[in-house]
Structure 1
Amino acid sequence: MADPVTGKVASYAFWGHDGRALADFWAAALGWRLTQEYPDENGVPVAFTVTDGTTTYIFYTAKDHRPPNWPAEELPFHLDLSFPDVAAAERRLLDLGATKPEHQPGGEYWTVFLDPSGQPFCVSAAT
């Protein structure tokens, strides 16, 4: 029997102006599937689940969402992604709607991108 006070992360939650567009971006970027929508009290879908079957992200629509003011302010978190072919992944992410900010602190080790909500994430080579 599992220890009753040992927890595990069930999902990771992200907010943006358009939760569905954000879910679509991340599903395509990671090669995952959008699996479920959750409606608000009026029946309008506002939360969207994306998973690979082992890890789950939930993307929420937040009308007043403001992207982080990076790099002027530190980030509370960000995702680090790795790909076997970084150049191909970078082209694909840009085609999907990511943007590449001018500020690139990773040198040759990683590249920073912004997802459609303005949240930074990093891309590096798979190790």
Structure 2
Amino acid sequence: MTENNAAATGAVKCAAFWGHDGKALADFYAAALGWKVTQTFGDTAAMISDGATTYVFYTAESFKAPNWPEDELVFHLDLAFADVEAAEQRLVELGATKPAHQPGGKHWTVLLDPSGQPFCISAAGNNG
């Protein structure tokens, strides 16, 4: 192994998500995070960013939300907020739903985004 591993070092440039309506999902997460929609791609996709992190959301006509918790998840987001109760209320107003199954106890809350995909919210600084 060489001392210069620059060629083997990478960075995540963007994460991509699929749902029933990519643009609506981008709007949801932009509002949830206080970010901006930075680019749209026709009627089927949109990108959001805070200037450092970027997510792109695509429409997939054959998208099927996982039947959580029965189905294993391939990927999900953990979002942190200073006021989790206020964030939960705001996210539900934006279109999230709260499933009955809540395995996080007092540590995190599971919500489903408008496409039915689970994501978690917790207090900023809470790693578990």
The TM-score normalised by the length of structure 2 is 0.90
CA shift at 1:2, angstroms?
8.0
1:1-127 alignment to 2 at 5 Å?
3-39=6-42, 45-127=43-125
Runs of 4+ in 1 over 4 A off after TM superposition: none
**Consecutive unaligned residues in structure 2, runs of 5 or more:** none
Residue deviations 1:94-125 (CA, integer Å, cap 9, x gap): 00000000110011111000001111000111
Amino acid in structure 2 at the alignment position of 1:115: D
Specify the SS of the correspondent of 2:79: strand
The total of aligned residue pairs comes to: 122
The TM-score normalised by the length of structure 1 is 0.91
Specify the SS of the correspondent of 1:4: helix
Tell me how large the CA RMSD over aligned residues is: 1.4
Amino acid in structure 1 at the alignment position of 2:9: T
Amino acid in structure 1 at the alignment position of 2:62: D
> Structure 2: how far apart are the matches of 1:85 and 1:102?
21
> Structure 2: how far apart are the matches of 1:110 and 1:75?
17
> Structure 1: how far apart are the matches of 2:106 and 2:6?
43
